Amino acid sequence: MFGEPGCQRPPGSRTWRPPRFLSAEVDRAYRAASDAGPGLSEHEAARRLAVHGPNVIAARPPTPWWRRVWWQIRDPLIVVLLAAAALTLATGDLADAAVILLVITVNTTAGYIQEVKAEHAVAALSAMSAPAARVLRGGADRSVAASDVVPGDLILLAEGDIVPADARVVEAVRLLADESSLTGESAPVAKEVGEGSQPPLLAAGTVVVRGRGRAVATATGSDSTLGRIATMVTRAPGPTPLQRRLAAFGRLLAAVTVALCAVVLALGLVRGQPVELMVVAAISLAVAAVPESLPAAVTLSLALGARRMAARHAIVRRLPAVETLGSVTVLASDKTGTLTEGRMLAERLWTPTGRATVTGSGYAPADRLERAGSTVLPEDAPDLVGLLEAAVLCNDAALQPPDQGDSAWRALGDPTEAALLAAAAGLGLDKTVIDRRLPRIQEVPFDRRRKRMTTIHRLPAGGLRVVCKGAPESVLRPDEVLSTDAALCERAVALADEWSAEGYRVLAIASADVPEQDAPRERWESHLSLVGLVGILDPPREASRATLATCREAGITPLLITGDHPLTATAIARRLGIVADADQVTTGERLREGSSGPLTGSRVYARTSPEQKLDIIRAWHAAGHVVAMTGDGVNDGPALRHADIGVAMGRRGTEVARQAADLVLADDNLATVVSAVEEGRRIYANVRRYLLYALTGGTAEILVMLIGPFMGLALPLLPAQILWINLLTHGLPGVALGAEPVEPGVMRRPARPPEQSVMGAGLWPRILAMGVVVTAGTLAVGVWAQQTGRPWQSLVFLVLGATQLGVALGSRSRPRSLANPFLLAAVALALALQVAGILLPPLRSLLGTDPLAWSDLGLGLASVCWGYLAMRVQSRFFRAAPADQRGGLQSW
Question: Domains in the chain, please, with CATH?
Answer: 5-59+124-233 (2.70.150.10), 69-114+237-313+675-742+758-885 (1.20.1110.10), 325-340+542-668 (3.40.50.1000), 345-537 (3.40.1110.10)
Cα separations in angstroms, 106 against 78, 79, 295, 557:
12, 15, 9, 37
pLDDT at residue 351 in the model:
94
**CA distance linking residue 865 with residue 502, whole number of Å:** 64
How many CA atoms within 13 Å lie on the side-chain side of 393? Answer: 31
pLDDT at residue 468 in the model:
93
How remote is the C-alpha of 888 from its chain's centroid?
Answer: 26
334 an active-site residue? Answer: yes
Dihedral over Cα of 508, 513, 516, 520: its sign? negative
Note every long-range contact of 373-380, with CB atoms under 8 Å and residues 24 or more positions apart, other chains counting.
376/427, 378/427, 378/428
Q: Is the pLDDT at 355 greater than 80, yes or no?
A: yes
Q: Which of 305-314, 316-325, 373-382, 751-760 has the highest mean pLDDT?
A: 373-382
Which of the pair, 324 or 825, is modelled with greater confidence? 825
Which of the pair, 203 or 173, is modelled with greater confidence? 203
Average pLDDT, the chain: 77
Q: Is the pLDDT at 98 greater than 70, yes or no?
A: no
Q: Is the pLDDT at 229 greater than 70, yes or no?
A: no
**CA distance linking residue 691 with residue 246, whole number of Å:** 10
pLDDT at residue 97 in the model:
66
Looking at the chain, the whole-number percentage of residues with pLDDT higher than 70 is 74
Phi-psi domain of 555 (left: phi exceeds 0; alpha: psi -120 through 50; beta: other): left
**CA distance linking residue 394 with residue 545, whole number of Å:** 35
pLDDT digits (tens, 9 = 90+) for 478-517: 877 787 778 888 899 999 989 988 888 899 999 998 887 7
Q: Is the pLDDT at 180 greater than 80, yes or no?
A: no
- Asked if residues 306 and 532 have their Cβ atoms less than 8 Å apart, the reply is no
- Asked if residues 608 and 563 have their Cβ atoms less than 8 Å apart, the reply is yes
pLDDT digits (tens, 9 = 90+) for 74-96: 665 566 667 767 766 776 666 55
**CA distance linking residue 481 with residue 126, whole number of Å:** 48
Band (582; pLDDT cuts 50, 70, 90)? low
Q: Is the pLDDT at 121 greater than 50, yes or no?
A: no
Which of the pair, 19 or 57, is modelled with greater confidence? 57
Looking at the chain, the whole-number percentage of residues with pLDDT higher than 90 is 13
pLDDT digits (tens, 9 = 90+) for 660-702: 778 888 777 778 888 878 877 887 788 788 888 888 888 888 8
DSSP string covering 212-266: EEEEEEEE-GGGSHHHHHHHHH-PPP---HHHHHHHHHHHHHHHHHHHHHHHHHH
Length in residues, the chain: 892
- Asked if residues 887 and 683 have their Cβ atoms less than 8 Å apart, the reply is no
The string over 804-828, giving b where at least 16 C-beta atoms fall within 10 Å of a residue's C-beta and e elsewhere, is bbbbbbbbbbeeeeebbebbbebbe
The backbone torsions φ and ψ at residue 453, rounded to the nearest 5 degrees and listed phi first, read: -135, 140
Which of the pair, 632 or 467, is modelled with greater confidence? 467
Q: Is the pLDDT at 810 greater than 80, yes or no?
A: yes
Question: How many CB atoms are located within 10 Å of the residue 723 CB?
Answer: 24
Which of the pair, 401 or 512, is modelled with greater confidence? 512
Measuring CA to CA, which residue among 766, 767, 794 is closest to residue 781? 794
Band (648; pLDDT cuts 50, 70, 90)? confident
Burial level of 666, CB count in 10 A (0-12/13-18/19+)? middle
Q: Which of 106-115, 470-479, 490-499, 852-861 has the lowest mean pLDDT?
A: 106-115
Q: Is the pLDDT at 337 greater than 80, yes or no?
A: no
Question: How many CB atoms are located within 10 Å of the residue 738 CB?
Answer: 27
**CA distance linking residue 549 with residue 670, whole number of Å:** 12
Burial level of 337, CB count in 10 A (0-12/13-18/19+)? buried
pLDDT digits (tens, 9 = 90+) for 446-481: 776 778 889 999 999 888 999 999 989 888 888 777
The string over 512-541, giving b where at least 16 C-beta atoms fall within 10 Å of a residue's C-beta and e elsewhere, is bebeeeebeeeebbebbebbbbbbbbbbbb
DSSP 162: B
pLDDT at residue 798 in the model:
93
Q: Is the pLDDT at 533 greater than 50, yes or no?
A: yes
How remote is the C-alpha of 225 from its chain's centroid?
Answer: 23
The backbone torsions φ and ψ at residue 537, rounded to the nearest 5 degrees and listed phi first, read: -150, 150
How remote is the C-alpha of 78 from its chain's centroid?
Answer: 30
> Residue range 135-151: average pLDDT?
83
Burial level of 132, CB count in 10 A (0-12/13-18/19+)? middle
Dihedral over Cα of 385, 387, 393, 395: its sign? negative
**CA distance linking residue 553 with residue 535, whole number of Å:** 33
Q: What is the CA radius of gyration of the chain?
A: 35
**CA distance linking residue 132 with residue 155, whole number of Å:** 11
How open is the CA angle 266-272-273, to the nearest 5 degrees? 80
**CA distance linking residue 134 with residue 422, whole number of Å:** 34
- Of the residues 334, 396, 564, 644, only one is catalytic, namely 334
**CA distance linking residue 880 with residue 890, whole number of Å:** 8
Q: Is the pLDDT at 348 greater than 90, yes or no?
A: yes
> Residue range 583-609: average pLDDT?
85
How many CA atoms within 13 Å lie on the side-chain side of 17? Answer: 7
**CA distance linking residue 837 with residue 835, whole number of Å:** 5
Q: Which of 118-127, 322-331, 785-794 has the highest mean pLDDT?
A: 785-794
**CA distance linking residue 885 with residue 890, whole number of Å:** 10
DSSP 316: E
Widest distance between CA atoms in the chain: 124
Confidence (pTM): 0.63
pLDDT digits (tens, 9 = 90+) for 237-279: 555 555 566 666 666 776 777 777 777 778 777 777 777 667 6
pLDDT at residue 21 in the model:
41
How remote is the C-alpha of 656 from its chain's centroid?
Answer: 13
> Residue range 62-81: average pLDDT?
67
Q: Is the pLDDT at 870 greater than 60, yes or no?
A: yes
Which of the pair, 875 or 504, is modelled with greater confidence? 504
Which of the pair, 421 or 200, is modelled with greater confidence? 421
